[in-house]
Structure 1
Amino acid sequence: MSKAVLWTAKDAATATGGKTTGEWTVSGISIDSRKVTEGDLFIALKGPNFDGHKFAQAALDAGANAVMVEDTTGITDTDKVLVVDETMAALVRLGEAGRARSKAKIVAITGSVGKTGTKEALKYVLSQQAKTHASPASFNNHWGVPISLATLPTDAKYAVLEIGMNHPGEISPLVKMVKPSVALITTVVGAHTEFFKDEAEIATAKAEIFDGLDTDGSVILNRDNLHYFALARRAKELGLSNIKCFGTDAVANYRLFEANIVANGSAVRSRINGQDLEYFIGCPGEHWVLNSLAVLGCVDALGADTEQASRDLADVTPPAGRGETSTVNVPSGEGTFTLIDDAYNANPTSMMAGIKVLAQSKPAEGGRKIAILGDMRELGDDAVKMHADLYHPLSAMEIDRVYCVGPLMAELDKTLPEAMNAGHFETADAAIAPIKADIHAGDVVLVKGSLGIYVSKIVSALKSGGVVDAPTHPER
């Protein structure tokens, strides 16, 4: 089945201010020539250490219908070229044009943790009611957001976009581009503290998401979060009055009464804007329970069907790298073990959430609860203490064995008792062989760490023996 046309040559040239001689159309956008699919527009971005122009012809050879470049050096298919003044600026203009032609109601999501999982869950439940677009993976930065807007289908009714940041001032220009109907902040905690004085500064930066809302837009906040009042006050200062909240507090518009967390998900009893709802979300963990309330809050704010959305949450499972659970063959023997892949990112809050999920798991007879923990990055001056302090929850929750991976996790290694300590390794590669040799049938294994420590390599190595029961992900 052919893909729908996103941009004609004429429309793309008008949107970007560029020039083209061809009559091509494109159905997707790529900035990585290795991931080009047939029909894409390849955009040759430049950076301090890379230049996509070197791969423009390779992208065409791989099936791209056209390339956006600043010059045509090395390109033989000159009828498939859109020449612009500067590719990054042109990408932004293309994203702005994509937003301008769309009538979709957009939810913009930010927060210290939970952005991507919440985005995926919201995209799924909305897609069961109408055509819904969402930013792929973690396309939440200065190039990811305009790509998400440039690929927004003209007939989509809803869209869900994630907006991230590492520094103050990064969210505001992105959300002004997005122009959402709803702005959700999942929570504010000490992530990326390397670039901020304290959590209050992080909250101020997250509040930039309000900058893209019209005065009739909806704000949804975590009522249980320490920074709720500061965020609500900032929204009011900007003239936003439709402010709602989720959490366990009695005043929450989207309120949690009770949750029963089991191995394959969580049964929830809630009140959603005055309506009592009981539902099941196919993701275990307290953090997923709270974020499911945020999802239903967004559905409510959009005017969609919250009751149907609550039923559809049963089909939502954690994305790969963010709590995905699989049954995997034991690498060094017979039987299977359970693998919890939470290897995409980590900060103290998400680390605690992952450890809780492991603690609540039920290993088979003779099995153990094993945590493989990689460094948490961008924590600033408190990094050493934050790693060492992980000993307390690990011990209190009776985790059987802990592998420490990365230079900072050496601090945790120093505090672990001998019976719990499975060893410290400077790199993920060095840890693979000992871990594979240690895992037994019936174990439950959590792999968690920041992206830059590459504990995802351990996940891949453990899965190499064969995945017996892979999670089923609904079409997203």
Structure 2
Amino acid sequence: MTKAVLWTAGDAATATGGKTTGDWSVTGISIDSRKVSKGDLFIALKGPNFDGHKFAQAALDTGAHAVMVSDARGITETDKVLLVDDTMAALERLGIAGRARSSAKIIAITGSVGKTGTKEALKYVLSQQGKTHASPASFNNHWGVPISLATLPSDAQYGVLEIGMNHPGEISPLVKMAKPSVALITTVVGAHTEFFKDEGEIAMAKAEIFDGLDTDGTVILNRDNLHYFALVRRAKEIGLTDIKCFGTDAMANYRLFEANIVTDGSAVRARVGSRDLEYFIGCPGEHWVLNSLAVLGCVEAIGADTERAARDLADVTPPAGRGEISILKVPSGDGTFTLIDDAYNANPTSMMAGIKVLAQSKPGENGRKIAVVGDMRELGDDAVKMHADLHQPLTALEIDRVYSVGPLMAELDKTLPAERNAGHFDTAEDAIDPIKADLRDGDVVLIKGSLGIYVSKIVSALKSGGVVEQTATEQN
């Protein structure tokens, strides 16, 4: 299939205020020369420890149709250069221009946990009803959001953008670029507490997502969250009146009545607006159930078909690294085991959700429930206690064996009962061989940890032995 043109040389120059002598067109955007696709515009960003300008010619050699740079030295194909004053500022201008030329209804999503999974679910159900564009992967920061907007097709009907933050003040400028019709906050919990005084400050930082809404825009909040009323108050302070909520509370606009959680998903009975719906979502776990209500609330808020979206949730599966389920060959013998790959990131709330999913799983006849847990990063002064306290849910939910990985998880190693403690390892690489040797037919294994502890290497090592069945596929 031929890709549609995103930007011509003239349009890109006008949008960025840059200059070009060429007559090129591009079908995509890349900031990583190693991942350039044929037809891309390569943007040479600069940072404290890197300079994309060094790789501009390599990007052209790989197949980029043009490069956006602030310094064209070393580039031989001068007619493929878009010269700008500052590449980051020019990327922002390109994103703003991409949003301005589109009439798409945009949904912006933030929250301490659940952003990417909710974005992917929304992307899928909306794509069954109209042309839908969404943030690639976790493009939710100061460069990811402008790229998502700059690659927004002009004829898209819907857009779903994820917006993240580590510090106050990061969301507001991004959501003002996006100009969404709907702003969703999945929940507010103690993630990134290293950079905030308390959860109240985190809630107000998340509330910056309201800054991009017009006064007739819709806010959707988690009614069960402790910070619900503070977020409502903040929305009203800036003039927003269409405020909806989801959860188990009797006052929720999108209310959960009942959920039956099984290995390959969750059967849900809920009320969405004025409709009572029964549907199945192909993702196990209470967190997926609640976020499915948020998905349907967003669908209703932009005027799409909620009943069709509810049916289509059956086809939604967790992205890789966020609950993807695979059946793999046992490395050291015959048989298979189930892998729950939740290795992308972790905080106390998402860790608890992952442990619950493992607890609800059904191992084979001689199988066990095994948790491989890595450090949770950016937790500030409470980090030691939060890791040590994990022994409580792991014990209460009867997880059979626990491998702990990383310096902070050494605290769990101290508190975990000996009969459940399978061992502690400083690095993910150190844990691979012992885990492989321990696995047996029928086991169910959860792998969960923050990105920087690299427990994803354990996932890759286990998958290298052979995937028998993958019940969830990565959604790009």
TM-score bracket, normalised by the shorter chain, equals: over 0.9
- How far the C-alpha of 1:472 sits from its partner, in A, is 4.6
- Distance in 2 (alpha carbons) for counterparts of 1:36 and 1:472: 27
Corresponding residue for 2:405? 405
CA 1:474/1:166 → structure 2, altered by over 3 Å: closer, same or farther? closer
Alpha carbon RMSD of aligned pairs, Å?
Answer: 0.7
- Distance in 1 (alpha carbons) for counterparts of 2:285 and 2:353: 7
Corresponding residue for 1:55? 55
- How far the C-alpha of 1:274 sits from its partner, in A, is 1.2
Q: Are positions 1:154 and 2:154 aligned together? A: yes
Could you say what secondary structure the match of 2:354 adopts?
helix
**Paired residues of 2:320 and 2:473 also in contact (CA < 8 A):** no
**Paired residues of 2:325 and 2:472 also in contact (CA < 8 A):** no
- How far the C-alpha of 1:2 sits from its partner, in A, is 1.4
- How far the C-alpha of 1:267 sits from its partner, in A, is 0.1
Corresponding residue for 1:421? 421
Corresponding residue for 2:294? 294
Alignment deviations for residues 427-467 of structure 1 (CA, whole Å, 9 cap, x no partner):
00111111111111100000000000000000000000010
Could you say what secondary structure the match of 1:3 adopts?
coil
Q: Are positions 1:278 and 2:256 aligned together? A: no
Alignment deviations for residues 114-157 of structure 1 (CA, whole Å, 9 cap, x no partner):
00000000000000000000000000000000000000000000
In structure 2, what residue type is equivalent to 1:368? R
- Distance in 1 (alpha carbons) for counterparts of 2:213 and 2:129: 24
- Distance in 2 (alpha carbons) for counterparts of 1:51 and 1:267: 49
- Distance in 1 (alpha carbons) for counterparts of 2:299 and 2:473: 21
Could you say what secondary structure the match of 1:341 adopts?
strand
- How far the C-alpha of 1:471 sits from its partner, in A, is 2.7
Alignment deviations for residues 33-73 of structure 1 (CA, whole Å, 9 cap, x no partner):
00000100000000000000000011011111000001111
Could you say what secondary structure the match of 2:322 adopts?
coil
In structure 2, what residue type is equivalent to 1:67? V
Percentage identity across paired residues of the two chains: 84
Corresponding residue for 2:64? 64
- Distance in 1 (alpha carbons) for counterparts of 2:474 and 2:388: 38
Corresponding residue for 2:311? 311
Could you say what secondary structure the match of 1:261 adopts?
strand
Show the 5 A alignment for 1:220-259.
220-259=220-259
Q: Are positions 1:170 and 2:176 aligned together? A: no
- Distance in 2 (alpha carbons) for counterparts of 1:35 and 1:356: 36
- Distance in 1 (alpha carbons) for counterparts of 2:235 and 2:72: 47
Corresponding residue for 2:102? 102
- Distance in 2 (alpha carbons) for counterparts of 1:55 and 1:470: 37
CA 1:99/1:114 → structure 2, altered by over 3 Å: closer, same or farther? same
**Paired residues of 1:328 and 1:466 also in contact (CA < 8 A):** yes
In structure 1, what residue type is equivalent to 2:79? D
In structure 1, what residue type is equivalent to 2:171? I
- How far the C-alpha of 1:417 sits from its partner, in A, is 1.2
- Distance in 2 (alpha carbons) for counterparts of 1:270 and 1:175: 30
TM-score of the superposed pair, with normalisation by structure 1: 0.99
In structure 2, what residue type is equivalent to 1:209? I
Q: Name stretches of at least 5 consecutive residues in structure 2 with no aligned partner.
A: none
Greater alpha carbon shift after TM alignment, 73-82 vs 189-198:
73-82
**Paired residues of 2:358 and 2:446 also in contact (CA < 8 A):** yes
Could you say what secondary structure the match of 2:337 adopts?
strand
- Distance in 2 (alpha carbons) for counterparts of 1:251 and 1:351: 28
- How far the C-alpha of 1:247 sits from its partner, in A, is 0.3
In structure 2, what residue type is equivalent to 1:374? G
**Paired residues of 1:315 and 1:474 also in contact (CA < 8 A):** no
**Paired residues of 1:266 and 1:280 also in contact (CA < 8 A):** yes
| Number of equivalences | 476
- How far the C-alpha of 1:473 sits from its partner, in A, is 3.4
Could you say what secondary structure the match of 1:309 adopts?
helix
Q: Are positions 1:34 and 2:34 aligned together? A: yes
Aligned structure 1 segments of 4 or more residues deviating by more than 3 angstroms: 472-476
In structure 2, what residue type is equivalent to 1:191? A
Corresponding residue for 1:343? 343
In structure 2, what residue type is equivalent to 1:323? G
- Distance in 2 (alpha carbons) for counterparts of 1:164 and 1:22: 36
**Paired residues of 1:26 and 1:39 also in contact (CA < 8 A):** yes
**Paired residues of 1:369 and 1:443 also in contact (CA < 8 A):** yes
Q: Are positions 1:359 and 2:339 aligned together? A: no
